[in-house]
Amino acid sequence: MAKVNYLQCVVCGNQQPYEPFVPAICKKCESQWLEAKYDYEDFKRSILRGLPNRPTNNLWRFQDVLPLENPSVLDLYPAGGTPLWLSQRFATQLGHDRVYFKDERYGPTSSFKDRQAAVAVAAMNENGIREAVIASTGNAAVAYAAACARGGIKLWVFMTSLVPQEKLREAALFGAEVIRVSGNYDQTKQIAGQFAQRRHLHLDRGASSIPARESMKTIAYEIVEQLGWKAPDWYIQAVSGGMGPLGVYHGFKEMFDMGLINRIPKIAIIQTEGCSPMVKAFKADKEIADPEIPDTRIIILSTGDPGKTYTYLYKVLKQHGGTMESVTDAAAFDAMRALAKSEGMAVEPATSVAFAGLQKMLLETTIGKDETVVVNCTGHTFPVEKHVLGDQWAVDVHLSKDQTAAPQEGLQAALENLDEKATTVLLVDDNADDALLIRRLLEGKKSYRVYHAKDGWEGLAMARQHLPDLIVSDLTMPGIDGFGFVEELKLDPRTKDIPIVVVSAKDITADERQRLNGHIEALYQKGSLPTRKFVDKVINVIEDKNGA
């Protein structure tokens, strides 16, 4: 059984209990840099025995130092366990033969964010969270969408409209509710946070989330094990917000404190020049990074305000060694092509930033020829085959016209507009013509998101996946009929509170009415109302619910 013994403040040393999904803030000095502590003696004994009875191909091999009470009882989403490759040509052409690639392209959605999603979603399930919100520049959204689909959690994904459409579509393909924000990533985080607050939903807080940050240290454990329980001299990663290296550092530190490795590697943080607030602050020897407006084509790395994460990384690098470097977009794209041609590895632009940084550090001899280097290959080229969705796979939210911070009144208007747009209706009817007519009439009123299930079984699956605001169901259908469908919905904690409007093509007996009584919002007979008036009634039910 894994369990967090306590949280310890890195700034003042204060120890306090770990509370899942409560913002980790030191109760003594109010620092946000708290580290989770575990039973390391027991874990070290397991390591020395070769971690018996543990998986060899995913991060749950190191579950003793992950923030879950009892991972063994959870249906855990697989992630991690990725290979470590020795560079055959890319680095050797630059005169270095001890460069390894930690190939995170082998995750479920082909990025290192699969680790974060696996641990965060497992923690959500353990704590009964059934609906969540995340802001992302791409990879995290897709990873969380996939993990939440496996975990039966409804996910709201907020992404800037600058993110490649394939990334947005992929998140929608996994069933997430995608909100496309016409602003930069920092604005997107702002509106996602306020949306979660308005709806009383769990907000994934990225670097300040203990489960999310702790997931990344499994990269360090795997690297050290794959190198024969030896630490590399350098760990290199391209960053946006910086959570990855912060978590990886914690893993190295835990192993160092347990006496498993003899040093904590130097860490190199690489950013693109068009969005490099960390690098500029580090070069100026400043503890706080000044926010900047991103100007890069590599949108996934476009966090203009790294906040306190930079300050923590700054202190880590000052204590244990390391550097922060920036490279141009052009250098990153050149590195992408060079890596593909020399190693047969197709990587995403964010990953190529790290490799361009490696090239720069080798050419400038920042890295010694006898030093062992590991570069995080954070993700694969994003997939372009995910075009199996209809047109209604995202909701658009418009903030300010440029990339400056959104005025509060503009943000408030956008949130109110989003409340209007983000209404989801599920139609369950085996008559496709009836369903299509209702759908068109609903969409003619405003931007409802309408899903159609052809029978009760499909309807149950879609209801559990999308958690709609309203369900309109026929009573007579093949398979499970409307009565059984309603009863199944009410037995499921995820769907029991969704209002249901039932439509019947036949007269309803008194016993049948009694069977539905208390479980539905309204009952109509087909033909008793013109379709337009029926749709108006349905909209009234939605508005009454939203106004409650």
pLDDT of residue 385: 34
Amino acid at 148: C
Amino acid at 255: M
- The residue-averaged pLDDT of 112-124 equals 95
Q: Please compute, for residue 401, the number of CA atoms within 13 A of its CA located in the half-sphere on the CB side.
A: 0
Give the Cα separation of 290 and 258 in Å (integer).
36
DSSP state letters, 394-422: EEEEE--SSSSPPPHHHHHHHHHHHHHH-
Tens digit of each residue's pLDDT (9 = 90 or more) over 270-302: 999 999 999 999 999 999 999 998 888 888 888
pLDDT of residue 197: 92
Q: How far apart are the first and last CA of the chain?
A: 43
Kind and range of the H or E element at 449? strand 449-453
> Given pLDDT bands bounded at 50, 70 and 90, which one contains residue 416?
low
Centre a 10 Å sphere on the Cβ of residue 509 and count the other Cβ atoms it contains.
Answer: 9
Give the Cα separation of 445 and 209 in Å (integer).
40
Give the Cα separation of 395 and 17 in Å (integer).
39
C-alpha distances out from residue 501 to 317, 364, 482, Å = 59, 68, 11
Contact between 318 and 360 under an 8 Å Cβ cutoff? The reply is no
Residue percentage of the chain with pLDDT more than 70? 89
Residue percentage of the chain with pLDDT more than 90? 50
pLDDT at 208 over 60: yes
Give the Cα separation of 324 and 238 in Å (integer).
10
Give the Cα separation of 522 and 517 in Å (integer).
9
State the average pLDDT for the chain: 86
pLDDT of residue 529: 66
Cβ-count burial of 200 within 10 angstroms (0-12 exposed, 13-18 middle, 19+ buried)?
Answer: exposed
Q: What are phi and psi of 394, to 5 degrees?
A: -150, 155
Domains of the chain, start order: 113-210+385-414 (3.40.50.1100), 423-547 (3.40.50.2300)
DSSP state letters, 39-89: -HHHHHHHHHTT-TT--SSSGGGGGGGSS-S-GGGS-PPP-----EEE-SS
> Given pLDDT bands bounded at 50, 70 and 90, which one contains residue 384?
very low
C-alpha distances out from residue 342 to 22, 94, 179, 327, 337, Å = 46, 12, 39, 20, 9
Q: What is the dihedral of CA 522, 528, 533, 534, to 10 degrees?
A: 40
Of residues 118 and 414, the one with the higher pLDDT is: 118
Kind and range of the H or E element at 134? strand 131-136
E-strand stretches of 191-299: 202-203, 234-238, 266-272
Cα maximum dimension of the chain: 85
Per the rule left: phi > 0, alpha: psi between -120 and 50, beta: everything else, 50 is: left
Nearest to 272, CA basis, from 249, 308, 315, 304: 304
Coil/strand/helix, residue 141: helix
Dihedral sign from CA coordinates of 491, 492, 494, 499: negative
Centre a 10 Å sphere on the Cβ of residue 507 and count the other Cβ atoms it contains.
Answer: 7
Q: What is the CA radius of gyration of the chain?
A: 25
Tens digit of each residue's pLDDT (9 = 90 or more) over 487-528: 889 888 888 888 888 888 777 788 888 888 888 888 877 666
> Given pLDDT bands bounded at 50, 70 and 90, which one contains residue 410?
low
Centre a 10 Å sphere on the Cβ of residue 540 and count the other Cβ atoms it contains.
Answer: 12
The residue count of the chain comes to: 548
- The residue-averaged pLDDT of 242-258 equals 95
pLDDT at 469 over 60: yes
pLDDT at 389 over 50: no
DSSP state for residue 320 in the 8-state scheme: H
Contact between 467 and 498 under an 8 Å Cβ cutoff? The reply is yes
Q: Which of 223-232, 392-401, 440-449 has the highest mean pLDDT?
A: 223-232
Residues 6+ apart with CB under 8 A from 290: 277, 280, 281
Pairing of strands 424-428, 449-453: parallel
Residues 6+ apart with CB under 8 A from 486: 473, 500, 502, 516, 519, 520
pLDDT at 131 over 80: yes
